[in-house]
Amino acid sequence: MGKFDMRKVGIIGLGHVGATVALDIVQGGFADELVLIDKKSEVAKAEVYDLWDSLALQPYHVKIYAGTYADLKDADIVLSTLGHIDLIKPGGDRFTELRANAPEVKSVSEKLNECGFNGILIATTNPNDVIVDMYSKYLNLPKAHILGTGTYLDTARLKRQVADCLNLDPRTIEGYALGEHGNSQFAAWSTVRIGGQPFVEIAEKKGISLDDIEEATRQGGFAVFNTKGYTNVAIAAATVGLMNLVFSDAKNVAICSHYDADFGSYISTPAIIGKDGVEAVVKLPLSADEMVKLQASANEIQDKIKQFS
């Protein structure tokens, strides 16, 4: 019998992202038991009713209920999808949410500690790197069991931008956006390849601007937010993707916000994800310029942590 014979997941925060994550999990049959928690209990119950109404139309059965923190004692994975995206203005910064999200993260951590939660926590809450650092300070969990979506989504956005330039499927693109899930992130062009060929060589031949792609990647979330007023589909896919790497004990390399001892910070660099969360950190052969950018991004994250401390 494996570690996750009955996959139990808790979702904390049922806004646009949390609700979409719940739907993705139910439609994919990615959990056997799904506990929904929101500070407004009536919101959690409404989402449960909506999901219940869909069960006769779904290919999988999932036990779904609005619960309390006591129900998370034996959860395998808890997903922190709480947030205050309404505080961000068009063209703004994810750091805007911190003062509203920070006390909620502290409260959630206290309740998880009180109930004895001993699983893995994956956070989408922004500013993501600062938030997972806070969870690591508050929760009675090893750092390897606390991770954030980080630049997992930004990397997907980078792949989409590159693929669009070449009329390719984004899944054919290799490479990473590294650093902060925020303004100091950057495209690590030395890692970006198509069929083994460096994209920088392809871009040079075709007259493609790397700077334009990098900026479009950095602003990708706001390209959606500025019209919709929120983002939900892609970040939900990133969240559920990381969750499934844990459940399947994938030992797969994924870019996410995790504690990297080289920088003394939570930051997005590639890591091997399995049933024990972050099981190893992958050291990329970055260029000297990219190493400078990565250290600068780590410094930016730490500066933001100090601003709030």
Binding region for NAD(+) = 13-18, 38, 101
Query: Do 128 and 86 meet the contact criterion of CB atoms below 8 Å apart?
Result: no
Rounded Cα gap, residues 71 and 10, in angstroms: 8
Q: Is 181 a catalytic residue?
A: yes
Q: Containing H/E element for 304?
A: helix 288-308
Residue partners of 91: CB distance under 8 A and separation at least 6: 222, 226
Q: Which of 61, 84, 145, 181 is catalytic?
A: 181
CA angle 109, 240, 102 (to 5 degrees): 25
The label of the residue with tokens 């602003």 reads 219
Strands (DSSP E) along the chain, which ranges? 8-12, 33-37, 63-66, 77-80, 120-123, 146-148, 173-178, 186-194, 197-198, 252-260, 265-274, 277-281
Q: Which residues are known to be catalytic?
A: 181
